Structure 1
Amino acid sequence: MAKNKIINLNDHLFAELERLGDENLKGDALKEEIERSRSIGHIADRIINSGDLMLRARIAADNTVRGDKLLPSILGADYGPDSDIQQ
């Protein structure tokens, strides 16, 4: 279940939604699941915000007047010609 792509985030979120929708979940088990869903939601927000930052950086790099279209390596852009890391 260790898929580390934003596209897979939906699978995790919908799986949690299904667990929360289980009408047999009661008492402490329900409270634990609610706490788990809060944690998952918090992490999902951070992943989405991080992806948004990288997308905005990519758009900014594409629209630069410098022409080199380099992205800072801190954004994980250490691939191909879009990197500020010399390979």
Structure 2
Amino acid sequence: MKNKLTDLNNHLFAQLERLSDEDLKGDALKEEINRSKAVTGVSKEIVANARLALDAQMAIGQSLKQGQLPEMIESKQ
């Protein structure tokens, strides 16, 4: 799997930077706001999915001390 939660974090900050562009006005600003709403909606689902994977792993008794996080949560080290 290529994408990790750190990638999501980077996308969210990039979106925040686009929204912070003071030159955005009118329709361009409205489009960026709509894009932000879509990005945050998808982001919430990704985070919920990662939480579910982590909860499921913990529920079946796999120890996080073993360093076996769900793939989507692992860092890129």
- Same fold per superposition (TM over 0.5): yes
* Aligned-residue offset at 1:37: 0.1
2:21 matched residue in structure 1: 22
* Aligned mates of 1:4, 1:39 — CA distance in 2: 18
Q: Is 1:40 aligned with 2:8?
A: no
* Aligned mates of 1:53, 1:26 — CA distance in 2: 39
Q: Say which SS state the counterpart of residue 62 (structure 1) adopts.
A: coil
- Residue identity matched to 1:7: T
Larger RCO (CA under 8 A, 6+ residues apart): 2
TM-score of the two chains, using structure 2 as the length reference: 0.76
Q: Is 1:56 aligned with 2:60?
A: no
Count of residues in Structure 1 that have an aligned counterpart in Structure 2: 62
Moved segments of 4+, more than 6 Å: none
Runs (5+) with no aligned partner, structure 1: 64-75, 77-87
Q: Say which SS state the counterpart of residue 60 (structure 2) adopts.
A: helix
TM-score of the two chains, using structure 1 as the length reference: 0.67
Runs (5+) with no aligned partner, structure 2: 63-70, 72-77
Higher Rg of the two aligned structures: 1
Counterparts of 1:65-76 in structure 2, within 5 Å, are none
* Aligned-residue offset at 1:62: 1.2
Cα RMSD (Å): 1.6
* Aligned-residue offset at 1:5: 1.3
* Aligned-residue offset at 1:7: 1.8
**Percent identity of equivalent pairs:** 52
Q: Say which SS state the counterpart of residue 35 (structure 2) adopts.
A: helix
